[in-house]
């Protein structure tokens, strides 16, 4: 049976880990990436882990012609996992047009190319940011979405709405996966997160501070109503997240009569404060971390954690890796990849 899957943004952090798990399950993987925030060498690293070299297509999805051409070439694909998007929250506020242009053009061109080539299954990479400032915790999928605090977040919310409308037309089946806070790396140390420039997210900031690339971590706010005053997030190991994509794909391919966009939260259901993450890092790595407490960061919510029951019940997905595993693997990755990509 043909098991070809197109993975857009396939050289990125979550895309590359998902490529590995797809290959482990016997899928043939075509990775599309414009390499704007990723490295081609990721293909070699996926090969080092799985022994299988994925097909690579360097395509900018903003270019409709190139996208159509690429999808036509791979029109035997049975599904698409669409990761390709810009994702820096802060940059999206200073340059919203860049984000709306890239993330919407990418999604629309992918959908048009799928329609022209009769590819009818898509998994969309979404975010817990679509819940805005949630009124209830833990967050269940039926909690109404809100206007996210950033243009980046809004591209995820509107992206889901676009998919909802297209699914209703009958030719497309779609799942949206709302990620909480993905961290960690492949346990081999071969693939992980490689932020360009100064990282925005907590985990790469911590590991880069610990190896001396950055001077000091700033903890954004210690006056939230949480157990130690620092903000709470639901951190999830990127390999558990990748495995959820494989489960979601199996479900989508076997579910012939889907009529609505299906949505799943991907989190562990456990929240940790920034200080708990720092203390766990110090224990796991044996390194003391240089940090200071500063003002809250604009747009941050105090607490965000998932109720992940739907994904475990319907997809049969289980979280297997805890915070120690996540930090151990992030740390191993940072140490392995200090000077190269």
Chain residues in the site for ligand UFG (CB under 6 A): 87, 89, 127-129, 153, 181, 200-202, 205, 217-220, 231, 233, 274, 297, 300, 304
Closest-approach residue to ligand UFG (CB): 231
From the candidates 86, 99, 131, 152, give the one annotated as an active-site residue. Answer: 152
Query: Minimal distance in Å, beta carbon 58 to ligand UFG?
Result: 25
d(CA 99, CA 87): 8
Residue placing its CB nearer to ligand UFG in the complex, 19 or 89: 89
Which is nearest to 42 in space by CA: 18, 66, 70, 6?
A: 18
Query: Minimal distance in Å, beta carbon 250 to ligand UFG?
Result: 26
Per DSSP, the residues of 253-273 read: HH-TT--S-EEEEES-S--EE
Residue placing its CB nearer to ligand UFG in the complex, 128 or 166: 128
Residue 47: in which H helix or E strand, if any? helix 42-50
Query: Minimal distance in Å, beta carbon 235 to ligand UFG?
Result: 8
Q: Is 100 a catalytic residue?
A: no
Residue 58: in which H helix or E strand, if any? strand 55-58
Per-residue b/e over 46-64, b at no fewer than 16 CB within 10 Å?
beebbebebebbebbbbee
- Read off φ and ψ for residue 277, nearest 5 degrees: -65, -45
Query: Minimal distance in Å, beta carbon 183 to ligand UFG?
Result: 8
Residue placing its CB nearer to ligand UFG in the complex, 17 or 173: 17
Residue placing its CB nearer to ligand UFG in the complex, 149 or 317: 149
Hey, which residues does 283 pair with through a beta bridge? none
| Residue 313, C-beta contacts closer than 8 angstroms, at least 6 positions apart | none
Catalytic residues: 152
């Amino acid at each position: 049976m043909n098991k070809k899957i197109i993975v857009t943004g396939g050289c990125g952090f979550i895309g590359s880990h998902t490529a590995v798990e797809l290959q482990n399950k016997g899928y043939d993987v075509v990775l599309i990436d414009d390499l704007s925030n990723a490295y081609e060498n990721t293909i070699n690293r996926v090969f080092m882990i799985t022994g299988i070299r994925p097909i690579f297509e360097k395509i900018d999805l903003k270019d409709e012609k190139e996208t159509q051409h690429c999808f036509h070439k791979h029109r035997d694909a049975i599904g698409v996992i669409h990761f390709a998007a810009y994702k820096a929250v802060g940059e999206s506020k200073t340059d919203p047009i860049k984000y709306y242009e890239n993330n919407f053009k990418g999604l629309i061109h992918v959908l048009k190319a799928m329609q022209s080539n009769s590819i009818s299954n898509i998994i969309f990479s979404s975010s817990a940011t679509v819940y805005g400032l949630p009124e209830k915790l833990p967050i269940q999928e039926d909690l109404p979405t809100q206007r996210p605090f950033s243009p980046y977040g809004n591209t995820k919310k509107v992206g889901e709405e676009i998919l909802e409308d297209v699914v209703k037309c009958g030719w497309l089946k779609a799942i949206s996966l709302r990620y909480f806070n993905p961290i960690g790396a492949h346990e081999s140390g071969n693939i992980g997160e490689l932020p360009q420039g100064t990282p925005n997210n907590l985990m790469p900031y911590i590991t880069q501070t610990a190896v001396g690339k950055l001077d000091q971590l700033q903890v954004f706010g210690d006056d939230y109503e949480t157990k130690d005053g620092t903000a709470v997030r639901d951190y999830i190991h990127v390999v558990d997240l990748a495995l959820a994509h494989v489960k979601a794909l199996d479900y989508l391919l076997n579910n012939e009569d889907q009529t609505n966009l299906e949505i799943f939260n991907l989190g562990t259901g456990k929240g940790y404060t920034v200080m708990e993450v720092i203390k766990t890092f110090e224990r796991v790595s044996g390194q003391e971390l240089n940090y200071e407490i500063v003002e809250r960061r604009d747009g941050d919510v105090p607490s965000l954690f998932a109720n992940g029951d739907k994904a475990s019940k319907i997809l049969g997905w289980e979280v297997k890796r805890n915070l120690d595993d996540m930090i151990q693997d992030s740390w191993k990755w940072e140490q392995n990849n200090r000077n190269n990509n």
